[in-house]
Structure 1
Amino acid sequence: MRQFLVFQSLWAMQTEPGPLEAQLDRIAAAGFDGITDHYYKLEDVQRLHAAATARGLQIEGQLFPQSVDDLAAALEVISRYGCHHLTLQADVRPRTQPEAATLIEGWQRLAEQVDFPILLETHRYRLTNDLLFTLDLLAQMPDLKLLADLSHYVVGRELPEPAALADDEQIRTILRHSWGFHGRVASSEQVQVSLAFPQHQPWVERFTGWWRYGIEDWLARTDTPWSLSFTCELGPPPYAITGADGREISDRWAEALKLKTLIREVWESCCL
């Protein structure tokens, strides 16, 4: 039976008190299955792997490669310890499809040599910055495995609400090539909005629908791994909106718990 794992981002915990171990205790006690964090420097990998394993938490590693060699060097470290999967925020901005494809093909060759998935994240100011550029890449490289953070395309392209059919179909194409998710709700103008505010409910419903579509598509595939992950990634300021006093206007930890509950309910309904 395939599993659904909900992770908590350690980036989202930057404003929370206590050392790493105390934060992991809080994450585990709240019922998360794992954590997401930078995962490529030997000392950091050793500490995070030991602390997470001791608490029964799995790890989504994050890497920001600019070359094929960057991934190769990171895998020399990561392969000694392992992870649930490794997510690449490709820190390059090629202007042409051939440039992008050459890099991705090199990363894919390396991905074949390890026993955990390596996914390319959709993210602003990265190789996948533009939705249309990424769609063209998928047309050229249909076996490319993505990690979908849809918030970047919503705010990056100022997608309208109500939805345009063409825009929704483009997002669904991204989801059909996605093997994991980073979760936050965006609007046309803001990359991260509160789940609780009434004015944001159309966007909450829209993202929930997209995630449902992505989960259903993943479940229908015959070549999926045994588990799918969703990271609650509610970032600190400036992702989180602040008032004139510099304080956040919502409780991100409470919202992460709410998002965890929401997405597990979506998974359960997809499995009925």
Structure 2
Amino acid sequence: MTHRGFRAGDIDTSKPHPARIYDYLLGGKNNYELDREAGDQLVDAAPEVRVGVQANRAFLRRAVRYVVDSGIRQILDIGTGLPTSPNVHETAHEVSPDVRVAYVDNDPIVNTYANALLSDSGATGVALGDLREPAAVLDDPEVRRLIDFDQPVGLLLIAVLHFLTDAEDPAGVVATLRDALPAGSFLVLSHATGDFADRSEAQAVYTRATATLNLRPHSEVERFFDGFELVEPGLVQVPFWRPDATPPQGSEEIGFYGGVARKTR
């Protein structure tokens, strides 16, 4: 499998990486000074970003519980980011301990930390792979060890598609992954948007990172669900997707859409 900008096993510290910026914004420690600088610039440009990433993380946990409650017993999480507890497998196992989880990310530091964390779990594994190469991700040996594509899968694309440019054909990437999934599978997706405020300055922060930030409106994000049926309440700002508590103050300004959809055929 090839990887954009580095060889497998290398850790690129010359530019901020989205996974490490996200880790910093969540309060994590697995990041470098240039990631923290980029994170601070992002907060200056978009003051709601810290509450936004927390709300996105909470959406992920609610969505994982939903799909596992719906019968899903295997999850493919692409663009997983650095381990942040509770992780997907921890959340899933609270509902059913027999869920298998394959994590995929293109940053080797994610692979390193996640492998150390998950080394004792045969039901959970990590693959170094790039969403831009969906066929390679689907064929990865570790993904194949954990995921049986003849059985329903929970596919997670959380806060990752907005790092693909239009030229990289994110809709085609999702279609390739969708076509590999059997009926009964679920897509869980969140995506950054500029629908609620001008976030061009926030986008500019990522011009110096390993991937650009590509904000998309509701209509474009919704098209990623083609071939799936959105479950209620549809594609909404992440704090308002089946909240289990009162959404945090300022939720109306959060620039993340989230949705969960089922493949019916």
User: What TM-score, normalized by structure 2, do the two folds share?
Assistant: 0.36
Pick the structure with greater CA Rg. Answer: 1
